[in-house]
Chains A and B, each alone.
Chain A
Amino acid sequence: MAESFLPLALIGVPVVASLIIFTLGIKWRLCREGAAIGGAALTAYLAVLLARRVVTVGPLQDCPLDLYADGLSALVVLLVSIVMLIIVGYSLRYMQYQVEQGLTTSHRLVLYYGLLMLFAAVMMWACLTNNMIWLYVALEGTTLATALLVCFNWNNEGLEASYKYVLIVVTGLCFALFGTVLLYSAAGQYSPGRPALLLTELGRIIPLIPRSVSLLAVAFFIVGFGTKAGLIPFHAWLPDAHSEAPAPISALLSGLVIKVGAYALARTVTIFAPHYDAVIVFVAIIASASMIIGILMAWAQDDLKRLLAFHSVSQIGYIIEGLGFGTYLGVYGGLFHLVNHTLFKTLLFLSVGAVMYATGGLRRISQLGGLGRRMPITAFCFFIGAIAMGGLPPLNGFWSKLTLFMAGGELHLWWAVAIGMVVSILTLTCMVHTAYKVFWGHPTTEPATNPGIREVPISIWLGMAVLAVLCIAIGVYPQLIHPLLHRGTESILAVYRAGAIP
């Protein structure tokens, strides 16, 4: 019985933490930083409990408030809470430094940590709700919670990026709401007496509703959740928001915010895919376009954060492509890449943050060089992230991409596999090239040659080191995460199979 309150606790803990921060954080530091790290740590602990429960026993049903936890929820919740803990830990020193630099004031940190915890709560809610309309509301909530974090420094670029971010994502999500309404209405006649459309019921309902309505709803979901995920051509907000936010928030956006879009797609479009071949091909086309355009744009960037942002556009293509396949291998690969991308992209953004911390805010590749000798740990972390994203064995990115290529082969979509491989090689070369220039090349400008540059303090590199170790560990021993991925994939397929039984 107590277990059925676990999802509620996962949402409640960050909410309480954020309330403490907003009410008492202005007076005591302990109620600000302390509540944030404590809330994040407790959430992570609860997420581990949930994951253990789901892997050993099975989905957690009949929770209050339409909450529900299956393998996919547990996987994403665990990932979110761990990355959240690392980001909060990283922020402690990083944001304090921003205060020392006069970029912000310690009073405003209340807003920072409060919103961070609020974001954690809506993120948990999005992953744990079983009601389609609440999913939309929670997604909207993640946008609103991060909007003020993107423009946290109140500078021109940040404000502009934040405006663009909210405008585009809210517009996109309106489409998702429209799709939800269509589906809700169509489903209403097949489940009389039920006030809500449950995500787990979707599989049963899809074969019953007309083809044209299904396809229209899928199109709306792809536009809506694709905007949130940063898929081409709805990605316009992504590079700006990622590059102008403070470094921990960039990591948060790339690591978590766009993943919730992918999660929503996995809950909706993936269930449709096995019924309609057109959906698989359409998603593969749009995902491949995302990969290609993302990597081409990334090559053209001089700003490290924008470069990583365009890589996110490119990598999200792999995730969505896998989820769109709708087969076991495809979904497994998509989820695997979702986990891996969160790990290495958070790692990369935090490493860039460390570089900015050490050099006093430099982030243009042309201004940097030769940092490897003075910042060995950061250099190592960045390099691990870079080759993991490039898909070089034995790191984690290799396995997920391999799974995706196998899934594409299984469906005979050889063109998609070929595009994925070429983009992967381009990613690797781009990232190694960047790492070489920043950490081994010769510094060309005066600030980068400053002898005062040295390694960041342990409170900053510790989180990065944990992520780097996770990237290596999953790469060397993928079985580490297999039970959760298997459960996650099975939980999606179970929803789909419910519709296959006549």
Chain B
Amino acid sequence: MHFSPILTFALGVLIMGVFAAEVRNLVVSTWAYLVHSLFLACTIGAFAVLTGHGQLYYWVLATVITKVVFIPLMLRWYVVRHHATEVRPALGFRLSLTILSLVLIGFFKLVHTYLDFVAPTEAATLEPYRSSLAVALTVFVLALYILVTRRDAIKNVIGVCLLENGAHLSLVILAPMLPETVLLGITSSIVLSAGMLIYITARVYDVIGTVDTSKLSRLRG
């Protein structure tokens, strides 16, 4: 079972993602996102060791710089300057956690079982790729769940960051051969879009005075 560290880290990615999604205190949520990204970097590192693709070490470095340092720093800047408690979401804590857990477990099972239909290569259907890919897709679904159920603008931004991490993980699993220039392009576009969203959310809070998306409805109709 030489690949078990990968699965442990991947599980960490998923669990910390859920934690970042569900916790109401945004400071804690930011920390959870940081740990989640750290697990992501560890997963990629473990893949690098396992597969021997030298490029993956650059991915680890890029992940640490952008997702463990930059994005949490920007989130922290926002949370400290603006508001630290999430706007009450549509669902209560327990109900939301229950639904989310059921959705994620169900989805993970589904993807893990039927991965052969959508796996682009033969190798992707074998362990540890199979489980990791299922985790990546599950993180994707987790992020979509946040985007659908949360009313707090900054929580939605965390959702987008998780979405990008899901895509990022799948990228590493499926296309480890990507050249460094492409890596630079993708990571900088991810950091810039997260930074732009955090900046705009901060301006929304300053100018409008609320980040409750259910109240930000002047434009509807």
A interface list, Cβ under 8 A from B? 131, 133-134, 136-137, 140-141, 143-144, 147-148, 151, 154-157, 159-164, 166-167, 170-171, 174, 177-178, 181-186, 188-189, 195-196, 209-210, 212-213, 216, 239-240, 243-244
Contact (Cβ within 8 A) B196 A144: yes
Q: Kindly provide the distance from the CB of B127 to the nearest chain A CB, expressed in whole angstroms.
A: 17
Total cross-chain contacts (CB, 8 A)? 121
In the complex, what's the smallest C-beta–C-beta distance from A122 to chain B, in angstroms? 10
Complex CA–CA separation, A209 to B193 (angstroms) = 32
Q: How far is the CA of A178 from the CA of B178 in the complex (A)?
A: 14
Partner of A181, one of B157, B174, B185, B193: B174
Asked if B207 contacts A155 (CB within 8 A), the reply is yes
A170 touches B197 (CB 8 A): yes
Taking a contact as CB atoms closer than 8 A, the residue among A166, A188, A212 that contacts B121 in the complex is: A188
CB neighbours of A210 from chain B (8 A) = 120
Question: Are the CB atoms of B118 and A216 closer together than 8 Å?
Answer: yes
Which residue of the partner chain B has the closest CB to A185? B174
B200 touches A195 (CB 8 A): no
Can you name 5 A-B pairs with beta carbons within 8 Å? A141-B189, A159-B200, A159-B208, A163-B197, A196-B179
Assembly CA distance A5 to B139 (angstroms): 42
List of A residues within 8 angstroms of B124 by Cβ? 185
- A237–B88 Cα distance when bound, in Å, is 24
Q: How far is the CA of A156 from the CA of B197 in the complex (A)?
A: 16
B216 surroundings in chain A (CB, below 8 A):
160, 163
Q: Cα distance A148–B203 when bound, in Å?
A: 11
Q: Which residues of chain A are within 8 angstroms of B147 by Cβ–Cβ distance?
A: 167, 171
* Contact of B174 with A182 in the complex, beta carbons under 8 Å: yes
Q: Given A154-B203, A163-B197, A196-B182, 9 more contacts at CB 8 Å?
A: A136-B189, A156-B208, A156-B218, A159-B207, A161-B219, A171-B160, A178-B140, A213-B119, A213-B120
Q: Which residues in window 194-221 of B have CB below 8 A to A?
A: 196-197, 200-201, 203-204, 207-208, 216, 218-219
B177 CB-CB contact with A under 8 Å: yes
B residues in contact with A171, CB < 8 Å: 147, 160, 163
Contact A151 B203 (CB under 8 A): yes
Q: A159-B207, A177-B171, A195-B178 are in contact. Are A137 and B200 (CB under 8 A)?
A: no
Please classify how large the interface on chain B is, using the bins under 10, 10 to 19, 20 to 34, 35 or more: 35 or more
Asked if residues A186 and B120 are in contact (CB atoms below 8 Å), the reply is: yes
Q: In the docked arrangement, what's the CA distance between A143 and B167, Å?
A: 18
Given the contacts A195-B178, A212-B118, A133 and B167 also touching, CB distance less than 8 Å: no
- Contact (Cβ within 8 A) A195 B140: no
What's the nearest-Cβ distance from chain A to residue B172, in Å? 9
What does the 1/0 interface line of B83-104 toward A look like (CB < 8 Å)?
0000000000000000000000
Does residue B170 face the partner (Cβ distance < 8 Å to A)? yes
> Which residues of B are at the interface with A, using a C-beta cutoff of 8 A?
117-121, 124, 140, 147, 153, 156-157, 160, 163-164, 166-167, 170-171, 174-175, 177-179, 182, 185-186, 189, 192-193, 196-197, 200-201, 203-204, 207-208, 216, 218-219
> What residue in chain B is nearest A244 (Cβ atoms)?
B219
Question: Closest A-chain residue to B180, C-beta based?
Answer: A195
A134 contacts B182, CB within 8 Å?
yes
**What are the 7 tightest A-B residue pairs by CB atom distance, in nearest-first order?**
A186-B120, A185-B174, A137-B185, A140-B189, A185-B120, A240-B219, A212-B117
Q: Least Cβ distance of A65 to chain B in Å?
A: 9
What A residues does B160 contact at CB under 8 A? 167, 170-171, 174
Is B171 a contact partner of A181 (Cβ separation < 8 A)?
yes
* B170 partner residues in chain A, CB cutoff 8 A: 178, 181
A178 to B140, CA, bound (A): 10
- Give CA–CA (A182, B175) in the complex, Å: 9
CA distance A177 to B166 in the complex (A): 11
CA of A182 to CA of B133, assembled, Å: 11
Task: Give complex CA distance A163, B208 in Å.
Answer: 12
Contact B182 A133 (CB under 8 A): yes
Contact check: which of A143, A159, A167, A213 meets B156 at CB < 8 Å? Answer: A167
Name the one of B117, B167, B185, B203 contacting A159, with C-beta atoms under 8 angstroms. Answer: B203
